Every structure is written in structure tokens, then in C-alpha cells.
A and B are shown apart, each in its own frame.
Chain A
């Protein structure tokens, strides 16, 4: 498996990614393209800025009354003949889905792209239970053949060349295939068409779930979301508990900004609204519909420091603009969700201890806030996480000592002034051209940055001089 091995430190994982010339080029091309497409889409959509605020407020209103909206959703799903299941942990979610599969006698499951099912590591569990999972989003299909994980939320296989993909397809189909995107896509269409018609189980995520109508909403470009919800006998949708929206009117607000943020499209090709199993008179569609509502750390954050991250629409816009993601790609992060929002979601799912390195994999430049369709303040929460990581004594001791001492010093003006004068003397052996290029004990810090030298005259000294010189 080429995805990150968590036993290797983050810095080494990131370093490897930066030495991978193809990955570097692919990341630059993809993220630059997505940024441009997103900007054009919003430039041509004057209501966009206002709708982003409206969307944010809808998310906030929904979270504040999540109990009410969730009850309403459950009631409506059941009224239309669907069944709702509850999973606090990934293990529970897997058990629920396997049980549904067993009862249906399922031997093959076709899946439409879903981060929630990635998050609970469903595919491995299905395989162990003798149900063959088939990813049907082209990008997901590619990385499934490669036994990897997605490297971008909406473009899972951007790290692969067409040559590598042709090799993967060739191995699967046991013949040589041309390294041409069009031909490869056609091959995948044929392969997967068979599987759609054979599979007993269709598994999807949910981009939204409308409380007022009991409708699960899937957004795709390829049409696999429609296949998976039309052809197999049983449909299971797995949704994070925060995906509820109150009404169809609210849904339209999100649809108006989601695709523009993700791919720059006005709307993705297919938005599929599923309200339970097939109805009387319908010749197609699943006979059974199951909704699995997943907690996995989310509920704790309703009143927690990462609450804002529950507003995330999974559009991937923050990945594209992030100077760190653009350099290292998704795999180096080492978890299901990459990029700036991924750090927060990883902390939400696995606890702050899981991001003690990742919490620092951000320059806090704020590009993610500007790109986020619902303006999630990611840097604020990253700072909060860094503090938490430090309080829990997960940070390196040197960092803790320095920050504690500096904090103590900053609260004492006289000592601070004295320290400045002492530093001016002590720094002499290390200053070159007005900057400290390396410092004993702080090699990690100065390896990639210069520290400005302490000035020969401090601001406070200059200020008092100025006051003396300026007549009142």
C-alpha cells in the first residue's frame, strides 16, 4: 500500500511526498485548476456571497436544534417505509451494515463515493463477511484496484497517472489496455455496468438529508449515485449525524454553492433525491431502504471546541487553496480526511492526540476560511487544537518550556525589557546579516526559517526617544 504508514512520522511522510516529482506536478495542476474554476463560478454568481452566509446560518440553526430535526427526519424516513439505524462507533456502523447485507443474502455491494464509509473502513469489513465491495465512482474504483485510499475528497485519484491507471486496469482485466483517459473510462463503464446489474446491495453516503421530507440527497457527476439507488434490491445510506437540513428550501441554498465550491460547476450533473424504497407502481428501485446515522465523535462536538467543523459540506475547496496540502497531497496526512478541514475531522473522530503533528501542518494563512462555502474558521480551531495538544503534554518538552517561559516573561514588562537587552548580547555569535540562521536546541525551528535578530534598539526605547524629541 502506498498510502501513509502512521508509524512513520508526519514530517517524513510529507518529505516523501515532496520528493515525488509526479505527485508534485499533479497536485499543482489539479489544485490550481480547481481554484480557478471555483473563482470563475463565484465571480459569475453575485448572490454567492450572501448565500454562503445563509448556508452558514442554516447549518448553525440545524445544529442548535439537531434533536428536533433528526427526530423529524427519522419519522419521515420510517413513514415512507425506510428503516433508520444508529451507530455511535465505526464498529457499530459496520455491524449494522453487515447485518443488513446478511439478511439480504448479499454477495456483492456496489458503492457510490462516500467519505462516511471510508471513515468506518467498511470495505475491509464487507470483504471479510464475504460481500464483495465495488467502488463505482471512477476515481474510487481506481484507488480500490490500487488498494489505496482517496488522496482528495472530491478527486480521489489525482495522484495517479493515466499510465499507472492503465496498468491497474490491465491487471484487473488480464489484458493490455491503452493509457488513454477516454478508453479507460469506457472500460470502467463496461466493467461496472455489469456489477450494477448484479449487485444485491447498494451503499451510498448522503450529502444532505432533508428532515421535513425524509429525503436523502446524493450529489454525483458520473451517475453512479443514481445507479446504486436504482438497481440493487437493497439501498443503505450512511450519513454523519450533522448532514440534516430542515427543508427543501434550505437544500436549494446548499446546492447553489456546493458544486461551485467543489468543481466550479453551477450544479453537479446529478443531484438525486431519494425518499425511501420504491413505491407502488414503480418497476425499479430498491425494495428496502436503510439509513444509518453515524456519530463517531460528532455528537461530542455539538458543545465541543470543534463544533464549527460540523458545518463542513465536504467540498474540498480548503484542500485546493492550502499551501500545505498543495505541497504534500492527501496521503501524507495519513487519515481518511486530508487537508485543513481533515485535521479537524481527524481530531473529531480520533481525539486530539491523533493530530499532535498534524495540528501544526498549517501556516494559519486563512486561505481555507476564504474558500470555505460556509466560512468555517479552520485556523481558529487549529490554534485551539495546538493549545489542547500542549495542555495534554503531547507537545515536545522544549516547545512547552519555551512557550511557558515566554508567556511568563510577556506578562512582566521590566523583566521583558531586561531579557531583550540580554538577548541582544547573547545572540551575537548566531546573527548573520541581521538574522539568526541556526540556534542550538532549536534546530528544528531554524532548519527551515530564519529568526529576525533582536534589534539594536527596541521599539520601547525608540518610542521614549521620540516622545522626548516631539514637542507637545
Chain B
């Protein structure tokens, strides 16, 4: 078996043979990601309606469904409506603290069966998955979700209908801006409270592997619903 030392030695030996290559540099990284991230937030405090409109447009283009409500409480009838139209009842959800509020009792009152923090097989049996969002990227209509305690990976993956809640603090305009936040989240080099996975979700699961016929929901959800809450979810 090749050891790390042997493997690296071979690479160094080959690199030593390269001569006269034009100098090249990687992309310029934010020197102070926190400052740049705050600058992006400050700009978006003004510009968010345009970014939100672009997000809606792009999300719809990739087959997602967009909703806009005033407060977190108004999310409940929207979720209940989605469930009713699809004859779905069983709902798995991120933990209330990660969602920004406990919608469980209200959802139950609307006839749903919420289950918090599911292990994989439970989520597989559920029809609806309710999550929060860490970033919503306007340029591509993408939802970025970090896993962690109270934020199972499978909530946005196993149920056929994924419903995600976000507010204006999650909005960014571009992939490049999202990159600043990714740099920020990793800046101290420590895992902190984050889980091991960050998922970028751009619309419902799709395939075109059979005669290029676009089909949704092959492994992941066949529908993605993004609900924008006007009042900031976390204070």
C-alpha cells in the first residue's frame, strides 16, 4: 500500500520537473469574511425586495413554488393547504429552535401529524418535510441548508414534499456572495455547532436519464415549496 509520505514524495518529484509555467493564483478570498458578510447584509437591507423577486423567478424556473406571508404564524395555513391538496398528513420537521418557532401545536390543530427530529426511516415514511434555510441565493433560486443538531439531513431529502421557511436575513444575491458566507462559517476552522453537511438545493429532485424526458422526484423531493416570511423569523 502506498503511504502518505510516498504519495506526497512522488507529487513533489513531478512538480520539481515543471519549469517556466506562467504564475497563477487562486480566486481572491475575502480577507475578513465577517466584515464582508456584514457589508452584504447591509446592502441587502435596502435591496432585498429586488433580490427576493429574482429568487422567486429563478425558483419557479427550476420548478419550485414560492409563497410570501407576513408572519411565522401565517406559515401554518400555507403548510396545511399544501398538505390538504396532496392528501398528506405526516410531517417531519426541524426542531422548533432551528425553525425559529414551534409550529407543532398549530399544525396539529390543522389536522397534520408532526414528528420532530426523525431518524431516517421515520422521515422516509413522512410525506412532508419542514425546514429552515441558512441562505437563499437569488441568482440561482437555491436554498442552502446546513445540517446539525435539530436539523436532520433527511428532513429535506426523504419526504416527497419539502417545505422551507426563510426570511430576508437569509437572502443573498449571488453564488459569489454565498461564497463569502461559506468562508465565514468556516473561518475559525472549528466545527462549532454546525453539522458535517451543507446542502445546496435548487428546485425539486430531477432526472432526464430516460430518453432525456424530464422527470421530478427521482430520489429527493418531487416538490419544493419556499415560504418567505416578511417579519424576521429570529428577532
Contact = CB atoms under 8 A, between A and B. Distances in A.
Interface in B156-212: 157, 175-176, 178-180, 182-183, 186, 191, 193-212
A283 B21 contact: no
B14 A302 contact: yes
Given A248-B183, A249-B29, A295-B7, A227 B1 contact: no
A269 B217 CA distance: 11
Nearest to B194: A279
B148 A270 contact: no
Interface residues of A, number: 101
A318 to B, nearest CB: 19
Q: Which of B16, B62, B196, B220 has the most A CB atoms < 10 Å from its CB? A: B196
A256 B175 CA distance: 7
Given A58-B27, A248-B182, A282-B195, A223 B205 contact: yes
Q: Give the size category of B's interface with A.
A: 35 or more
A388 to B, nearest CB: 17
B62 to A, nearest CB: 8
A263 B206 CA distance: 12
A271 interface: yes
Contacts of A245: 26
A188 B179 contact: no
A192 B219 contact: yes
Contacts of A452: none
A75 to B, nearest CB: 10
Contacts, number: 270
B210 A96 contact: no
A267 B142 contact: yes
Given A224-B219, A281-B149, A248 B186 contact: yes
Given A278-B196, A283-B152, A67 B219 contact: no
B45 to A, nearest CB: 23
A193 B58 CA distance: 29
A285 B198 CA distance: 12
Interface in B1-54: 1-4, 6-8, 10-12, 14-18, 21-22, 24-30
Contacts of B220: 222-223, 226-227, 269-270
Interface of A: 26, 29-30, 33, 54, 57-58, 60-62, 64-67, 70-71, 74, 80, 84, 86-88, 92, 95-96, 136-139, 142, 155-158, 160-162, 165, 181-182, 184-185, 188-189, 192-193, 196-197, 212-213, 221-224, 226-227, 229-231, 241, 245-253, 255-256, 263, 265-285, 289, 293, 295, 299-300, 302-304
Interface of B: 1-4, 6-8, 10-12, 14-18, 21-22, 24-30, 58, 62, 117-121, 124, 139-142, 147-150, 152-154, 157, 175-176, 178-180, 182-183, 186, 191, 193-213, 215, 217-221
